[in-house]
Amino acid sequence: MRKKWSVSAACLCGVLVVLWAGPGRAQDAPPPVEVIKIDAPGILDKPGATYLLTKDVTAPRTAFMIKGDDITLDLGGHTVTYGTEVGVDRSSGVFLRPTGRQEGFDGVPPGGFGGGNNFTLKNGRIVQGPQPVAPPGAITWSAGRLVKEVGDHPRPGRYCHAVYIRGCDNFKVLDTITEVNSRDSNNIHVLYSGRGEIANNHCISTVKEITDRHYPGTQVIQAGARGYLNIHHNVIDGGGQWGINVTGGGNTGHLAEVHHNVIRHRSYTTNGYALGCHAPNMRVYANVVKSIGRGVHLTANNVDFYNNIVEPREKPNPEYPSTRTHGIKLEHPTHTRVHHNFCRVIAEEGFGQADPLDLDCPKFSANQVYKNTIVALRKSPKYWASAVNVVYAHQFFHVWQSSAARTQGIVFRDSVLAPPADYRKVRQLYARSYTKGNVDMTVEWSVNVKTVDPAGKAVAAVTVQVMKDGKAVAQSATGTDGTASVVLA
């Protein structure tokens, strides 16, 4: 190997002096990373070190606490079981939090606070110890907010997040499997942190009990960051309320990306969504949502939501036996785009309406919804009608019209509206009449469309065509008021 030499020259009193300094380095090499092998739970406080777990470990409360910058915890493919002590709140598998406001953290010793920046967690399994679950009928909804206990049964530990990170700039959670089971517990809980990445994790949640669905609720992945946030290639199974919930304050310009996640979400509350987009400037794409509950909630400004598959199905729950099954809900965003998505919503038997798009947007919000495929399905028993009533009608969009926030200015362009069922099957109806003789009955499916120009003025003579299997089955044209009605059968 050739040696590198350094040469220096100087001119002293008109005489050129050449100094040979001998072998040298072209540049300084980075210092070697210190690897510390560990085989028991505890506090990790060596800045710059990589801690390597060498065996499966169990902790009655919190397992690992981070105190220092530039720390990596490599689980080495092993399993960390935490929170095996019944009824202790706020135990975690991995815990990182600065000092201050430590009250209420029964599962963390005082010396476990300190936190740090540039933290990486990777390569292993974190499992919550089993906690008691209230027997059937012991949880009830009350006072519009709280889920209260009824009866005498063991109390589970609450807020026992598998991974807890707060106030950390530049964090990574990679290649982990997390499992949680007790009330109000999240798999990955990140708040008030800077740049971060959550990737290639499998999150399993069997949480069924939520103390307060309004705040803080429970999420499988809770991500709140002040800097760039990248959540991708994660798989979610279960969850008591939210699947992936992204939050962030202010229009800071930071970008949050959520992409290539598979969300097999299961909600036990009314407002549980598989995906919550509550941070500005998000890009959300290439996700697959297969939710038992609601689909996607968009509240932040300047969100680009595209190329996603959203297929929620909802059934009656302990709070509301009948309401709308939301596919994609826009609630007060501005400059948000929803495009090139497939959204199919199923309202299970005994529930309410299938509601693929639910819109509550202020005037001049400049939102756009275009080139989506939208399907609404509702499983229902026999249809009932009395006298001359409309038996049933599906709605593709539910638009809020309140005096406080009137929904206007949303653009639908090149969208596909699929009928909720094959209308020919609906001709088989059960009818009961208290009159003598036969009852004549006509069943029709119809689509009503209104067209307006950008200024809101009705546009006449616009052709509206209904396609089935690539062929036109019905056609109409808008009148002077911009409306057209197409009868399908």
Tens-digit pLDDT profile for residues 382-423:
444 333 333 334 455 655 544 444 455 555 655 666 555 444
The pLDDT of residue 415: 64
User: Which pLDDT value is given to residue 348?
Assistant: 78
Could you report the per-residue pLDDT of 112-141, keeping only the tens digit for each? 999 999 999 999 999 999 988 765 544 444
The answer to whether position 458 is within a domain reads yes
Last residue of a domain, one of 389, 417, 435: 435
Per mean pLDDT, which range of 62-66, 226-230, 284-288 is the poorest? 226-230
- pLDDT at position 442, please? 55
User: Comparing C-alpha atoms, which of 241, 196, 202 is closest to residue 223?
Assistant: 196
* Highest mean pLDDT, choosing among 18-22, 269-273, 324-328: 324-328
pLDDT at 163 > cutoff 60: yes
Q: Indicate the residue among 396, 417, 435 that finishes a domain.
A: 435
Residue 388: per-residue pLDDT: 36
Is the pLDDT higher at 148 or at 460?
460
Number of folded domains that form the chain: 2
**Residue 289: per-residue pLDDT:** 97
Residue 434 in this model has a pLDDT that exceeds 70: no
Residue 13 lies in a domain: no
Per-residue pLDDT averaged across 107-116, rounded?
A: 96
The domain that holds 209 is classified in CATH as 2.160.20
Report the alpha-carbon distance of residue 256 to residue 302 in Å, rounded: 11
Q: 256 near 305, Cβ under 8 Å?
A: no
Other CB atoms closer than 10 Å to residue 72's CB: what's the count? 19
pLDDT above 70 coverage of the chain, percent: 72
- The verdict on 251 and 329 lying in the same domain is yes
Rounded to the nearest integer, the mean pLDDT of the chain is: 79
Query: Are 385 and 345 in a shared domain?
Result: yes
**The pLDDT of residue 201:** 98
pLDDT at residue number 187: 98
Confidence of residue 95 (pLDDT cuts 50, 70, 90): very high
DSSP notation for 133-144: -PPTT-EEEETT
Cα separation, 370 vs 412, in Å, equals 5
How many Cα atoms occupy the beta-carbon half-sphere of 351 within 13 Å? 26
Query: What is the total residue count of the chain?
Result: 489
Residue 294 vs residue 62, higher pLDDT: 62
d(CA 182, CA 160): 7
Is the model more confident about 352 or about 439?
352
The mean pLDDT value for 355-380 works out to 81
**Do residues 316 and 426 both lie within one domain?**
yes
Tokens of 415: 């969208």
Q: How far apart are CA 416 and CA 465, in angstroms?
A: 11
Q: Is pLDDT at 277 greater than 60 in this prediction?
A: yes
- What is the pLDDT averaged over residues 452-458? 76
Is 453 inside any structural domain?
A: yes
* Residue 15 resides in a domain: no
Per-residue pLDDT, 194: 87
Residues 147, 197 within the same domain: yes
283 shares its domain with 163: yes
Residue 292: which pLDDT band, with cuts at 50, 70 and 90? confident
Quote the pLDDT of residue 242. 93
Average pLDDT over residues 47-53: 98
Q: Tell me if residue 28 falls in helix, strand or coil.
A: coil
Q: For residues 458-472, give the mean pLDDT.
A: 81
pLDDT of residue 321: 60
Same domain, 356 and 472: no
Q: What is the mean pLDDT of residues 343-358?
A: 79
pLDDT at res. 141: 43
Q: What pLDDT is stored for residue 404 in this prediction? A: 45
99 pLDDT above the threshold of 80: yes
In a domain, 29, yes or no: no
- Write out the E strands in 14-161: 15-23, 35-38, 42-44, 50-53, 57-58, 64-66, 72-74, 79-82, 94-96, 119-128, 139-142, 146-149
On whether both 325 and 469 belong to a single domain, the answer is no
Tokens encoding 99: 């000092």
DSSP 185-246: --SEEEEEE-SEEEES-EEEE-----SBTTTT--EEEEEEESS-EEEES-EEEE-SSEEEEE
- SS3 state at 476: strand
Q: How do 354-360 and 325-331 pair as beta strands?
A: parallel
pTM metric for this prediction:
0.76
Whether residues 330 and 464 fall in one domain: no
- Residue 9: pLDDT band by 50, 70, 90 thresholds? very low
pLDDT number for residue 142? 42
- Is 397 or 353 the better-scoring residue by pLDDT? 353
Domain membership flag for residue 16: no
Task: Kindly state whether residue 278 falls inside one of the protein's structural domains.
Answer: yes
Q: What is the rounded average pLDDT of the residues 361-387?
A: 71
342 band by pLDDT with thresholds 50, 70 and 90: very high
For residues 372 and 482, state if they share a domain.
Answer: no
Return the minimum-mean-pLDDT range out of 30-39, 437-446, 464-473.
437-446
For residue 78 the two structure tokens come to 């092993």
Indicate whether 480 and 354 sit together in one domain.
Answer: no
d(CA 131, CA 153): 12
Long-range contacts of 379-382 (CB under 8 A, 24+ apart): 379/346, 379/347, 379/348, 379/349, 380/349, 381/349, 382/429, 382/430
SS3 112: helix
Please give the structure tokens belonging to residue 14.
Answer: 């008109």
Q: Which domain holds residue 481?
A: 444-489
Place of tokens 């396609």: 467
**300: pLDDT strictly greater than 70:** yes
Which 3 state secondary structure label does DSSP give 249? coil
Last residue of a domain, one of 435, 455, 478: 435
Half-sphere exposure of 131 (CA within 13 A, CB side): 34
Q: For a pLDDT cut of 90, what percent of the chain falls above it?
A: 44
Two tokens at 487? 């009868």
Instruction: Name the pLDDT band for 322 (thresholds 50, 70, 90).
Output: low
Tell me, yes or no, whether 313 lies in a domain: yes
Q: Domain check: are 138 and 230 in the same one?
A: yes
Residues with Cβ < 8 Å from 468, sequence gap 6 or more? none
State the average pLDDT over residues 206-231. 86
For the chain, the C-alpha Rg in angstroms (whole number) is 29
Q: What is the distance between the alpha carbons of residues 96 and 262, in angstroms, rounded to a whole number?
A: 27
> What is residue 393's predicted lDDT score, i.e. its pLDDT?
42
Least confident span in 68-82, 160-174, 379-393: 379-393
> Which amino acid is located at 483 in the chain?
T
260 and 379 co-located in one domain: yes
